[in-house]
Amino acid sequence: MVRFEHVEKTYLKNGRSVEALKHINLDIQAGSVFGIIGHSGAGKSTLLRLMNGLESPSSGRLSVLGQDLSAVPAQELKRLQKQIGMVFQHFNLLDSKTVFENVALPLRLNKVGNQEVEERVSALLDYVGLTDKAQIRPHQLSGGQKQRVGIARALIMGPKLVIADECISALDVSIQAQVVNLMKDLQAQTGTTYLF
Ligand code: ADP
């Protein structure tokens, strides 16, 4: 699913170079659940941004879903990105839209027809236990509910890889297990690769 070969990433910051990633070799098997841990500043976010093509490595080779990211044309990169679902620490929901429309957003952007949007979003909201919240705005939800919306939106395109960047660290400890268990169930059912 993901392969890093001798990957390095150096940023230039105020004229100084910062080595964020040094000599990274990494293989993530399809269907696995993979966790990356490290102290603040260790390079975790940089690693994730390389994986979804938001940054390029300074050197080394990197492939995702069997595609060499250094050689991939822009159009193909977009297609690849559609197969990666992102779950964010602070949810990144749009408060101007209902819960339903937040989950529907990737489908709308891909011009999926209304009937199919209705079916797919309703099924997923049902799965994450938010059917009765479909027509309200995210600010009316608890943190755990907001993250369930975030998870539904990440899954709506049927991704092959889900990247969850500190997806429970903004939640109450009592809610964290619920969200992890939901993701565990989803992973077991679909065999999607999850990266935490
Ligand atoms: P983590 O996610 O583990 O906290 P990051 O990947 O955010 O780590 O950061 C790794 C290192 O790279 C840090 O020293 C950070 O200051 C630096 N860094 C991250 N992003 C940038 C950037 N856009 N420009 C310059 N330096 C950066």
Pocket test for ligand 1, best of 10, 12, 13, 55 (most atoms within 8 A of CB): 13
pLDDT at 171 over 90: no
How many Å lie between the centroid of ligand 1 and the Cα of residue 117? 37
- Reduce the DSSP state of residue 61 to 3 states and report it: strand
Q: Comparing C-alpha atoms, which of 9, 37, 38 is closest to residue 22?
A: 9
The atom of ligand 1 lying closest to the CA of 47 is 6
CA 49/CA 36 separation, integer angstroms: 13
CA 117/CA 100 separation, integer angstroms: 10
pLDDT at 125 over 90: yes
Region class of 151: left (phi > 0), else alpha (psi between -120 and 50), else beta = alpha
Q: 10: Cβ below 6 Å to ligand 1?
A: no
Q: What is the pLDDT of residue 23?
A: 95
Q: What percent of the chain has pLDDT over 90?
A: 78
Higher pLDDT, 127 or 114: 114
What's the predicted TM-score (pTM) here? 0.90
CA 185/CA 179 separation, integer angstroms: 10
* Torsional sign, CA 102, 86, 78, 20: positive
- What's the whole-number mean pLDDT along residues 30-51? 94
Give the chain's mean pLDDT. 93
Q: What is the pLDDT of residue 170?
A: 84
CA 76/CA 78 separation, integer angstroms: 5
* Torsional sign, CA 114, 118, 120, 121: positive
H-helix or E-strand spanning residue 5: strand 2-13
Provide the pLDDT confidence category of residue 58 given band limits of 50, 70 and 90.
very high
CA 7/CA 47 separation, integer angstroms: 10
Q: Read off the pLDDT of residues 135-161 as tens digits, 9 standing for 90 and up.
A: 999 999 999 999 999 999 999 999 999
The atom of ligand 1 lying closest to the CA of 12 is 25
Pocket test for ligand 1, best of 39, 45, 50 (most atoms within 8 A of CB): 45
pLDDT at 26 over 90: yes
How many Å lie between the centroid of ligand 1 and the Cα of residue 70? 21
